Structure 1
């Protein structure tokens, strides 16, 4: 992926990128932005500092749940990649609020990319749609993301920072903890019967990391994009495909009524929303060529 040079207001120096929430995807971003960027990584765990330093990032100790620890963030970075999730409860995202307050005090940030979720749309009945569709969050988890998106876009309008929101579906990769269907197949977790099944969307973790970097360079101001691949499969067909590729038995199919009695509320929430995401903005505006355009290719190769 060839990207143009980033030109901050204070030219003639290497720009600084702050990664907030430097988990699996953030770690995949690191080698993509070095050595062009000086990279800072915010972590609430001092124990992670050696790992981040070894990977080329400068660790900063701070906690989004403790705003007093974020005071010095504002003047440190030209760009921010915000991948930290909201809290586990409530309809608001106070973590994003604390981060933006800290960033606003410095007035340096020119670009901000946020990793949101496609869950903000709620159930679309299997419809295929682009980013102009109105959000309709069906869970508090999704409502927290809608709140974060609103805060970020307001921050962009108020400060002039170029904010890009990536709405992300299910992330997978063979070396991602909890991110490969093999684990669920080995547990024998059921999927819905064909008449009750839902469409689901996916992105390989490596392609998501590349989308984050492309958005730092090419994202339009206050723009939303679907960070999704080209796959249009129902959830059951996805796990059938994964089972065949892994040499495992296909999962049992059960009705929605049986699923409601036997599966966890969290799993049922994912099985209650059906949508297909149009990813043309990702490919046209960010000019991103997916390495794994379908889950079939991703599961076979990576």
Structure 2
């Protein structure tokens, strides 16, 4: 990757740390922001909720924004404040990590980037606000932009092993709807490609081709770590009653199609099925979390 200018990664969490490692391997200069203090010399502690951002964005010609909106309230004031800070010196490219939750409930239909945005949950509505704010600003600036709509993210340390060992309850396979997920390393691979000179702009869905249900995913992990799950719950409403946190995810049914990004980048996920991603994640002894 030869394009000049430091990449600023806003949000050095699970994906951000892996992205930084990949950029190092590519020989790309980067700096990072995170809320917590970090010992890494290129990562700065920045409070995105502060009325005035106490951090310099000069020289960041490419920005990857991985920070989530606040957990309450309307819209995403964090991103809007950040965009306002960029007005005097807009970047050349801005990559924003959103969620497939902006599609809302599509009743099991296949969802492309052209599907109606039926976001209903407060979390998804905040993401939709962030998407619109970015597109408006980038259009005004003439900045190249990408919105990555991400489903469930998994990878090393993100297989719910602790919950599975503790006796995770799941709905029975015949009632659990299809799922959507993407491996952390496949997200990173796409972002690295989008940061290259000449990369396409626009909205891209990321998802593997399998759409394994959350139940079968948990069963596959349990089998590999030698754990027997409790008996499954045959009625979804009964499952929701005891696991209300899962209801908003499973009730919104859709099958995310990622053909557009595959064509645009001539790319195929390294882990295009969940089993290969699970096996690789369990076999990864590197502490990148």
TM-score (norm 2): 0.89
Distance 1:71 1:299, change over 3 A: closer
Partner of 1:277: 256
Query: Structure 2 residue aligned with 1:30, among 1, 20, 30?
Result: 20
* In structure 2, C-alpha distance between the alignment counterparts of 1:105 and 1:71, rounded to whole Å: 14
Residue in structure 1 matched with residue 284 of structure 2 by the alignment: none
Task: Name which of 39, 50, 64 aligns with 2:30.
Answer: 39
CA-CA distance at 1:202 after TM superposition: 1.1
Return the TM-score normalized by structure 1: 0.86
Whole-angstrom CA distance in 1 between matches of 2:9 and 2:95: 10
Give the deviation of 1:196 after TM superposition.
Answer: 3.5
Structure 1 counterpart of 2:187: 208
Given candidates 8, 12, 16, the residue that maps to 2:6 is 16
8 Å Cα contact 1:214-1:288 kept in structure 2: no
Q: Distance in 1 between matches of 2:15 and 2:118?
A: 26
How far the C-alpha of 1:194 sits from its partner, in A, is: 4.2
When the two structures are aligned, how many residues end up with a matched partner? 278
C-alpha distance in structure 2 between counterparts of 1:18 and 1:103, whole Å: 12
1:66 maps to 2:50: yes
Secondary structure of 1:68's partner?
A: coil
Give the drift of 1:70.
4.1
| Pairing 1:84–2:67 present | yes
Offset of 1:150 from its aligned partner?
A: 0.5
Verify the 8 A CA contact 1:131 1:224 in the aligned structure 2. Answer: yes
- Specify every segment of 5 or more residues in structure 1 that has no aligned partner in the other structure, as ranges: 7-13
Q: Counterparts in 2 of 1:103-252, with a 5 A limit?
A: 103-107=86-90, 109-174=91-156, 176=157, 179-194=158-173, 196-217=175-196, 219-221=199-201, 223-252=202-231
Equivalents in 1 of 2:254, 2:217: separation in Å?
Answer: 14
Residue 289 (1) aligns with residue 277 (2): no
Q: Cα 1:122–1:64, aligned 2, differ >3 Å: closer, same or farther?
A: same
